[in-house]
Structure 1
Amino acid sequence: EIVVACPSDKNNNVVSKETFAVAKCESGSTLVINGAKVDSKELDCKSKAESNVIKTDRKCANGKGTVLEIGFKVISEWFKLLEVCHDLDEAKTYWASHTIKGDGIEGKVYRSTARPAFSRGEKWLYTGFNPDNAYKQNQVDLEVVTGTLGVSKMVDDKGKEKEVYMEGKDRLPVPEYYWKIMRNPQVRGDIQINSIILGFF
């Protein structure tokens, strides 16, 4: 069974006309919803689904951050997508944790986007490991934690290094380091990728 939902007020599925429905797999891409056969490719929401944020009582980052859950509320059920360790006062996120469902990955990989991208060095920087292999779709769930560390510094017009913030003098800091840890629960060991953020203006 598959839960088909369109979270948010006055929203519904264009096929079933309901906010929430339970679908059963028939064959291939065909689902059965309320006794009617529907092609899963036709499923869509009338309007954009709205996510929710739940503030928990859990602390993180040595007490500096609060764990927030981000997901969708459907009727009385809560479907968590990820957890975030966030400093509510400084508007700073330390890390985000989520699980990639390997059996549901069928999306296209886009190699180029309109936004700035990372520049990757030569493969010899990763002795004995090709980072491209970490993205192969092996139908295995992958636990991923992404985070940042430090505050980037740039030289001002007076030749002095100053920390870079996107809001005021101490809010929304531009991180100095970006890191990601990927863990396959079925094998021993983790894959960790670190990078330094260089500012170009």
Structure 2
Amino acid sequence: MSSDSNKPNIAAVIVRDAEPGDIPQVYKLMEELILFLANQDLRLYTEEEFFQFVFGKNPMCLCLVAVLKEDPNFVVGYSTYFTMFNSVDGLSTTLEELYVKSNYRGKGIGTILWKKVTQKALDMGCNSTIFVAHQWNKRALDMYTRHGCENLTEMNGKLLLHFSKKDMEDFVKTSEKA
């Protein structure tokens, strides 16, 4: 690492599947992500719940970590993703989160994480990847569009909708028919 920037070059970073011992560091990065998104109202699951989501009996998501070659136990970034099926694309991957610590940004680590998720998706037979980018995050939007991602909202009016747990509970309790 150069002493002036304290940032690694791409060759100094390894992206690998998360291991159980990585979860505490990934969880701390998730807390940083919530601050980055400037949304204190977001609910962050407990570290144990996240562990179960990734390594439990019925894992719900996959997780990759970016670590430094010189310190392979130091996590500088992560991505979480999962597979799903839809009638248009068949098997698809959803890239749920991609985050790199602020003092390690701008060195291609996010791109390496994204490429690794993409390669894993292709290896699983996925035909597309879906993810969300915030309109204000120009840096991420530029990266995604530079590599060929299409904005479905602009292209065909597809909107991302959210159903909170409370709304879900209220919905299943209603007697109204669709």
> With structure 2 as the length reference, what TM-score do the two structures score?
0.31
| Structure with bigger RCO (C-alpha 8 Å, 6+ apart) | 2
Asked which structure has the greater CA Rg, the reply is: 1
Q: TM-score, normalised by structure 1?
A: 0.28
Q: By percentage of residues, which structure has more strand?
A: 1
Structure with more helix by fraction: 2
